[in-house]
Amino acid sequence: MDETTGLLSAYAATLSDDELTEDAVHGIARCVVDAMACALAAYPMDAMAAPRALAGAATGDPPAHVLFSGEPTTPDLAAFANSFMVRYLDYNDTYLAKRGGHPSDTIPAVLAAAEVAGASGREAVLAMVVAYEVFCALADAEGLSVPGFGAAVSVAVASALGAGRLLGLDQAGMADAIALAMAGGLSLSVPRTERLSMWRAGASANAARNGVFAALLAERGVTGPERPFEALMRMAGSGEEGIGLPPLGGRGRPFHTARTHMKAFPAEYHAQAPIWAALEVRRRIPAEDLAELRIDTYAHAIRGIGTGGAKWDVDDPDTASHSVPYLVAVALVDGEVTPAHFTPERLRDARVREVMGRVSVREDPELTALYPEVVAARVVGVARDGTRYEAECRQPKGHAENAFSDGEISEKFRRCAGGVLPPEALEPVLGRLWALDREGSVSGLLAALRVSR
């Protein structure tokens, strides 16, 4: 196996429970509560019907289950449908690095494997730590950047190793799972400068599915191609064997579970700071009095959410969640951004459309130089009478350096669960999620999350 495969497979196979720190275990609980909140917010949306129906058309032996509705299915399709829910509103945690991404995309993969393995909550926590460490290390890797391919490879490999841990794979099996996930699941990096599709969430969900499927294949003795990371590096035009993998947590090194950034708003992460700054401007200049609004931010944010005509003419929720003009206009008109702002009716709101037409976005070289260590945006509003007000947000609420408290994560869960979970079940389920490491059975916890279909 190549160097990177060797390092990752050995880590996943040998990280022991007694190496987990209290911070790592508590960090995973925070991520799980946040991820379940995001899935609950997406659960009632029309876009969830197709993944649920696809999963419900198959049955595993033993089965895993679709979150909340409880359809029995295969573990790989459970990972797909559930990761789709976690990811759909772009409300889940983010890790900012050379490539970045959403490590909580791996949580449904681990839960699906935990169900079929009959795992305890503590065993699932260890597997989630493995998945988070692998995901974040790959995101930080110096050399893992292949033009034309998406970052979902990190989700696939991390999901394979998290699932593999619960399925009892040794290092050789882990190496096969890595190779199978990579060889069968690289995703295209489709530009996001114009209109987006549902596959912006589906790509990561499919990577989670691929990871679980690869682990199941490896468990049954299917071998994968040799030296997968070397092959990826050759595709990138590099002659290097290693990818510059940074150290993984454990053995005296800190874990990544407390270093991801959570979101106050269901919107692409780089919109969080502009939304907060726009809300500050709104306190001084009402939307109906606004003549002009300028957003100054870093280049990476502009490439993703602030350029292209479609971002000023949104007509679908997928583009809307990645349109800083739409998100800021909603904040200015309503004073908040919630899942309810992605319905067809709200996307056509004439007041929001009018404000969007007054929004401009430009790069601030200073903020570009500070990114990714500093996430920032400056919003300048000009009223019809010429009054000017400027607000800036740095390290928005939820950023690892401005983290949510446990209570704030619980409040996010309560808001998202309202109307989905029965009121009498909400607090008991929330308490069990926070105490995931003390659950005797992951299957029992997921059964408690089921609602009437």
pLDDT of residue 386 exceeding 60, the answer is yes
pLDDT at 1: 85
- Banded model confidence at residue 61, pLDDT cuts 50, 70, 90: very high
Give every CB contact of residue 202 below 8 A, 6+ residues apart in sequence.
51, 84
pLDDT at 144: 67
pLDDT at 148: 55
Contact 278, 328 (CB under 8 A): yes
pLDDT of residue 190 exceeding 80, the answer is no
Instruction: Identify any residues that bridge with 377 across adjacent strands, giving them in sequence order.
Output: 297, 393
Please report where in the chains the tokens 């704030």 appear, as a residue.
Answer: 408
pLDDT at 237: 66
Q: How far is Cα 56 from Cα 40, in angstroms, rounded to an integer? A: 18
Domains of the chain and any CATH numbers = 3-264+432-448 (1.10.4100.10), 269-396 (3.30.1330.120)
Q: What tokens does 171 get?
A: 């290092």
If you average pLDDT over residues 344-356, what whole number do you get?
Answer: 94
**Per-residue pLDDT reduced to its tens digit, 135-150:** 999 988 876 666 655 6
Contact 181, 271 (CB under 8 A): no
Angle (CA) 365 368 373, round 5°: 145
Contact 182, 232 (CB under 8 A): yes
The rounded percent of the chain whose pLDDT value lies above 70 is 94
Instruction: Identify any residues that bridge with 392 across adjacent strands, giving them in sequence order.
Output: 378
Give how far the C-alpha of residue 145 lies from the chain's centroid of Cα atoms, to the nearest Å: 19
**Per-residue pLDDT reduced to its tens digit, 140-188:** 887 666 665 567 889 999 999 999 999 999 999 999 999 999 987 767 6
**Per-residue pLDDT reduced to its tens digit, 14-49:** 999 999 999 999 999 999 999 999 999 999 999 999
Q: What tokens does 242 get?
A: 């290693």
pLDDT of residue 191 exceeding 90, the answer is no
DSSP string of 176-218? HHHHHHHHTT--B----SS---THHHHHHHHHHHHHHHHHHHH
Q: What are phi and psi of 95, to 5 degrees?
A: -120, 120
Q: How far is Cα 379 from Cα 390, in angstroms, rounded to an integer? A: 6
- Banded model confidence at residue 192, pLDDT cuts 50, 70, 90: low
Q: How far is Cα 329 from Cα 311, in angstroms, rounded to an integer? A: 12
Dihedral of the alpha carbons of 16, 173, 83, 58, in degrees to the nearest 10: -130
pLDDT of residue 234 exceeding 90, the answer is no
The rounded percent of the chain whose pLDDT value lies above 90 is 83
Q: Which of 167, 171, 151 is nearest to 7 (CA)?
A: 171
If you average pLDDT over residues 390-398, what whole number do you get?
Answer: 98
Phi-psi region of 222 (alpha: psi -120 to 50; beta: other; left: phi over 0): beta
pLDDT of residue 303 exceeding 70, the answer is yes
Q: How far is Cα 425 from Cα 143, in angstroms, rounded to an integer? A: 47
pLDDT at 239: 56
**Per-residue pLDDT reduced to its tens digit, 249-287:** 998 899 999 899 999 999 999 999 999 999 999 999 999
pLDDT of residue 101 exceeding 80, the answer is yes
Cis peptide before 266 (omega within 30 of 0): no
pLDDT at 230: 85
pLDDT of residue 241 exceeding 70, the answer is no
Contact 65, 115 (CB under 8 A): yes
Q: Work out the mean pLDDT of the chain and round it to a whole number.
A: 93
pLDDT of residue 245 exceeding 70, the answer is yes
Which DSSP helix (H) or strand (E) runs through 72?
A: strand 72-73
